[in-house]
Amino acid sequence: MDFDTTIFKAYDIRGTVPGQLNDGLAYRIGNALADYLKPTMIAVGRDMRVSSDELFEALASGINDAGVDVVDLGLISTDGLYFAVGKYGYDGGVMITASHNPKEYNGFKICRKEALPLSGQEGLDKIKESVVNDIIVKSPHRGNMQRRNIAEAYAAHCLSFIDIELIKPFKVVVDAGNGMAGKTLPPAFEKLPITVVPLFFELDGSFPNHPASPIELENLVALQKKITEVKADFGVAFDGDADRMFLVDRNGNQVGGDMATAMVADNLLAKHPGETILYNIICSKAVPELVARKGGTPIKTRVGHAFIKPIMKKHNAIFGGEHSGHFYFRDNWFADSGLIAFLVCLELLSKNDRPLHEIIKAINPYFRSGEINSRVESARAKIDAVAEHFADGEQDRLDGLTVTYTDFWFNLRPSNTEPLIRLNVEADTKELLDSKTEEILKIVRS
């Protein structure tokens, strides 16, 4: 079959609809997945995007034609899909979503049994090969379709990570971004004593208010204004498929995913001393420092859930966090959940006499650039040039290039999902941060 094979990414399948991804391709992907996993039953959920229902019908038909049953989970979050696969023992799962991408995009996040993700080097490559070679499997016994509502069960599961009795009656502004958080959060929130001020809880795949990508500061403006307007204690924003979350303090400052990682680690280590915590290579060094200070074992990983989940299982880590707002929990089948992460942070705040911004200030003495993206002709050539320029620093190639000095460090890596090279810098002072960021970008963009 002739199609744009670039829709197969490192962690998922994603492209524009119908330009790169359409019903015919969705059917073949579903059929190839069933042939690859050889399952009995696959759970399928979808987000609120305009094309999600249509893609679901095609994907499910391809799975059924291979003789495999489909469990239709309906409109859910990506972390809800992982929960269903783990909780009910399904042989695999597919979430139809393009996460934070613009409205014209859609795609598939795929996992096998126990919510272990497929990746470009583990499963997605085989599915692509089958589609390219026009391999279609037709079983004499077509699979069945059944429906399951997991809303209440998932809310109860997430709430089991905290002691509800400890939660203080905070006022919290919650920005769902017209994404799946608007549907999946209320069953959990109604069990808590907090006052929720909802923003954009209406499901709308056209994203009429702002893109559902809270890592970008321009998408937090409405949340910041509402926090000030209602005098909230803090706020939280979720992305389109609600598996990522970002906190915002009462002064309107975004709390980075790495600082939320530190908060979750702090709370979990207080309950479970000596456990192992994973953090990706982009996280502030404040994260491993906090983990070590609290008696835990920090382990650095590559960026991306397809890499983190297997390492978590290998080390039986209780938790893993990423700068991008993904948070993984051992007791959640090592899968990520924005809702669980929010609840654990909420519990930490409830047990602490200090507001969010003061908690962050206490664990975050460093200055960071944030992720700076550049389009380049050859990412490898630029990385090699930067490596040569900073040859006197301590270097590693775990994920792109990381160079460490006593008073600053940086990571430069190619994007796994876009034609970009990404730079992150952290330093002991603002002056050093600005100086080194400018020095590195001069090489990258020359």
* Domains defined for the chain, CATH in brackets: 5-149 (3.40.120.10), 153-161+168-250 (3.40.120.10), 257-363 (3.40.120.10), 368-444 (3.30.310.50)
pLDDT band at 10 (very low <50, low <70, confident <90, very high): confident
At 182 the pLDDT is: 98
Q: What is the pLDDT of residue 335?
A: 94
Angstrom distance (rounded) from CA 35 to CA 40: 11
Which carries the bigger pLDDT value, residue 436 or residue 303? 436
Q: Which of 288, 320, 294 is nearest to 306 (CA)?
A: 320
The better pLDDT of the pair 130, 416 is held by 130
Asked whether 59 and 52 are in contact (CB, 8 A), the reply is no
Q: How many residues does the chain have?
A: 446
Q: Are 150 and 83 in contact (CB under 8 A)?
A: yes
Per-residue pLDDT reduced to its tens digit, 205-220? 999 999 999 999 999 9
Q: How confident is the model at residue 417 (pLDDT cuts 50, 70, 90)?
A: low
What is the pLDDT at residue 274?
98
Arithmetic mean of pLDDT, 297-305: 90
CA torsion angle 388 389 395 399 (round to 10): -80
Which tokens hold the place of 403? Answer: 């160079």
- Considering the candidates 61, 77, 99, 284, report the single residue annotated as catalytic: 99
What mean pLDDT is predicted for residues 280-305?
94
Q: Whole-prediction pTM value?
A: 0.94
Contact yes or no for 104/110 (Cβ under 8 A): no
Mean pLDDT of 333-344: 97
Residue 61 designated active-site: no
In sequence order, what DSSP letters do the residues of 42-81 get, joined into one string? EEEEE-S-TTHHHHHHHHHHHHHHTT-EEEEEEE--HHHH
